[in-house]
Structure 1
Amino acid sequence: MRVSNTLIGVWSIFTGLASLVILGTGIWLATKHEDTTCIKFLQWPVIVLGIFILVLSVLGIVGALRRNTCFLWIFLAIYFILILLLIIFTIFAFVVTNKGAGEALSNKGFKEYRLRDYSTWLQRRVEKQSNWEKIRSCLADAKVCNDLDKKYPTEVQFDKANLTPLESGCCKPPVECGFTFVNATNWVRAKPNSSPNEDCLKWNNDKTELCFQCDSCKAGLLQNVKKDWRKVAVVLIVVLVIMIVVYTIGCCAFRNNRRGGSYTKYGP
C-alpha cells in the first residue's frame, strides 16, 4: 500500500510539472505575437488542457496522502481518458498545420503567402466574417505595420527586407499587383490593374486599413499560427511520453497492490 501510494504521489508530481509546461506553453502562445493574441480560439484549448491536468495531479497527490486505493483506480481511469484526448489533440494540431508555406520571390528578401495553401479548418476560422473583423481590428490596434516606414525608408531596402509573414501579408500589397512604391505602407495603384488577384482591389493606403482585409493577410497570420502550433505539438508529444511512462508505472503499482490483498472490492 505504501509503495503504491508513493508511486502515485511521485506520478502526480511529474504530471503536475508536465501540466505547468503545457500551461506555460499556452500562455506563451497567447502572448508571443500580436497575431496569436488576436486569435483566442487557438491557444485556449492548450491552456484549458494544462489547467485540467494540474487539477487532476493535485487530486492524485491528495489521494496518495490519504492512501485511498479506490481513488487510485478512479484516478488511473480518468488519466487513461486524458491520455487518449491528448493523443487526439496532438494529432489534430499536426494535421491542421500540415499545409502552407511561403512562396519565395525573385530579388525579394521576403516571401508571400496564399490563403488556399493552408488547411480547410484554419481557412474557415479566418474566413468567417465575425471572426476576422475582431482579428482585423485587433491587428490594426496593435499597429503591427507602423514601424516599417522607419525600418525600410527606400524601395531597395524594402525589397531586401526579411519581413515576417504578418508584415508581408498585411502591410503591403501583393507584388503581382504591380503597385509603385512610395514608402513601406504607401503605394500607388497600377492603372489599369491587370492582376486577377482580388487583394489588389482591397489595398488601402490608410494605415488602419492597408491589406488587413486581404487574403494575403489571413495567410500571413496562419503562417505564424502554424509555426507556433508546431512548437506546441512538439511539447505535447514530450508531455505525452512522460504521461504514458508514469501511467504504466501506476498500473504496475495498482496490480501489485491488488495482488497483495489490499484491494478487495474494486477491479481495473
Structure 2
Amino acid sequence: MFRLSNNLIGILNVLTFILSIPILWAGVWLSNKGVTECEKFLDKPVIILGVFLMVISLAGLIGACCRVSWLLWTYLLVMFLLIVILFCFTIFAFVVTNKGAGEVVSERGYKEYRLGDYSNWLQKRVNSTKNWKKIRSCLVDSKVCSTFLNKYGGDNDEQFYKQHLSSVQSGCCKPSNDCQFTYVNPTNWSTNTNGASAQTNPDCSIWNNDQKILCYDCQACKAGLLDQLKRDWKKVAIVNIVFLIVLIIIYSIGCCAFRNSRRDNVYRGKNGA
C-alpha cells in the first residue's frame, strides 16, 4: 500500500515533468528561431534546465511510485545539491549587490551612475571585453535607446532634465552630466565644450551621436546596467528564499518516501524468503 509521502512526491514530480515540456520547447525554439545575440545566448541554458527538470522529475516519479530505492536516493542527492547551490547563490547575490547606488544630480530627475561604486566582482564581469561585447549587442538589439528617443524626443531641455530615467537609459543613451554638452534631443548632444569636468570624465570622449554608438561603451553605461542587475538580483534572491523553503519541504517528503520504499523492499524480501 502506498504511503502519503510517496503519493505526494509522485504528484509533485508529475507537475514538474509537465512544466519541463514548455521550458524545453522554448529552448529548442530559441535555438532554431533566435536571430539576436540575446536570444542565442539564452537557448542553451533553457534547454539544459528543461532536460534537467524532465530527468529529475522522472527519477522522482518512478522512484516513488514503483518503490525503486536507488532512483529515489539519486533524486534526493540531486535535490540536496540543488538546495546547497541555491542557498550559496542566494547569499552570494546579496553580497555582490550590497554596494552601489545612483548619484542624485542637482536639478535633474534622473541619477548618474559610476562604475567604481559597485562590487569588484561585478566590475570585472562588465569590464571583460568578451562579456561586454555580448551585453552591448543585447542592449542594441533590445532597442533600449530607440524606445528612449521615441518617448522623450519631443521634450525640450528643461522637460528632459526633469524625467525619471531608468539606470540603463541614463548611463547608455545620453552623455554624463559631467560633460556639460548642449542638449539637442535625448540622443543628440552638441559636444563643442571645453569644460574642465568634461576633460576628467573619460566617457565624454567616448560619447557619439551615432545611434549605434551613443554611450554604449561608456563606464556609465556599464554602471547603469549593474544598477539594474543589482535590483533584479535582489528580487531573484527573495524568490530563491521562497523556492528554497519549497525545496526543503519536498526534500523532507522525499526522505519519508525513500524510507517507506526501503521498508517495503525489506518487507517483500522477508516474505519472499
If the TM-score is normalised by the length of the shorter chain, which range does it land in?
0.7 to 0.9
1:189 CA drift (Å)? 2.0
The 1-side partners of 2:44 and 2:105 are apart by 35
Q: Which residue of structure 1 lines up, in the alignment, with residue 214 of structure 2?
A: 210
Q: Which residue of structure 1 lines up, in the alignment, with residue 126 of structure 2?
A: 126
Q: Which residue of structure 2 lines up, in the alignment, with residue 164 of structure 1?
A: 166
Mapped contact 2:14–2:61 kept (Cα < 8 A): yes
User: Aligned match of 1:219 in 213, 217, 223?
Assistant: 223
The C-alpha deviation readout for 1:23-68, integer Å capped at 9, x for no partner, is 69x99xx9xxxxx948948x97688456524431222112223221
TM-score (norm 2): 0.78
Give ranges in structure 1 of 5+ residues lacking alignment. 31-35
- Please provide the CA RMSD for this pair: 3.3
Shift of the 194–119 alpha-carbon distance from structure 1 to 2, 3 Å rule, reads same
The 1-side partners of 2:2 and 2:77 are apart by 20
Question: Would you tell me which structure has more helix in proportion to its own residues?
Answer: 2
Q: Does 1:228 align with 2:228?
A: no
Mapped contact 2:17–2:53 kept (Cα < 8 A): no
Mapped contact 1:172–1:184 kept (Cα < 8 A): yes
Mapped contact 1:11–1:250 kept (Cα < 8 A): no
1:76 CA drift (Å)? 1.8
Shift of the 254–132 alpha-carbon distance from structure 1 to 2, 3 Å rule, reads closer
Mapped contact 1:177–1:190 kept (Cα < 8 A): no
1:169 CA drift (Å)? 0.3
The 2-side partners of 1:11 and 1:189 are apart by 61
Percent of pairs with identical residues:
50
1:143 CA drift (Å)? 3.0
Mapped contact 2:68–2:261 kept (Cα < 8 A): no
1:241 CA drift (Å)? 0.4
Mapped contact 2:96–2:122 kept (Cα < 8 A): yes
Shift of the 193–44 alpha-carbon distance from structure 1 to 2, 3 Å rule, reads farther
SS at match of 1:187: strand
Mapped contact 2:160–2:186 kept (Cα < 8 A): yes
1:211 CA drift (Å)? 0.8
1:95 CA drift (Å)? 2.3
The 2-side partners of 1:199 and 1:106 are apart by 20
- One-letter amino acid of the counterpart of residue 6, structure 2: N
Q: Which residue of structure 2 lines up, in the alignment, with residue 33 of structure 1?
A: none
- One-letter amino acid of the counterpart of residue 10, structure 2: G
Q: Which residue of structure 2 lines up, in the alignment, with residue 246 of structure 1?
A: 250
- One-letter amino acid of the counterpart of residue 97, structure 1: T
- One-letter amino acid of the counterpart of residue 137, structure 2: S
SS at match of 1:2: coil
Of 3-12 and 113-122, deviating more is 3-12
Q: Which residue of structure 1 lines up, in the alignment, with residue 33 of structure 2?
A: none
Mapped contact 1:140–1:209 kept (Cα < 8 A): no
The 1-side partners of 2:38 and 2:228 are apart by 12
1:11 CA drift (Å)? 4.6
1:130 CA drift (Å)? 2.2
TM-score (norm 1): 0.80
Shift of the 212–70 alpha-carbon distance from structure 1 to 2, 3 Å rule, reads closer
Q: Which residue of structure 1 lines up, in the alignment, with residue 102 of structure 2?
A: 102
- One-letter amino acid of the counterpart of residue 5, structure 1: N
Q: Does 1:77 align with 2:77?
A: yes
- The number of equivalent residue pairs is 252
Q: Which residue of structure 2 lines up, in the alignment, with residue 187 of structure 1?
A: 189
The 1-side partners of 2:240 and 2:49 are apart by 10
The C-alpha deviation readout for 1:54-96, integer Å capped at 9, x for no partner, is 4312221122232212322232222212211221222222222
Q: Does 1:255 align with 2:233?
A: no
- One-letter amino acid of the counterpart of residue 96, structure 1: V
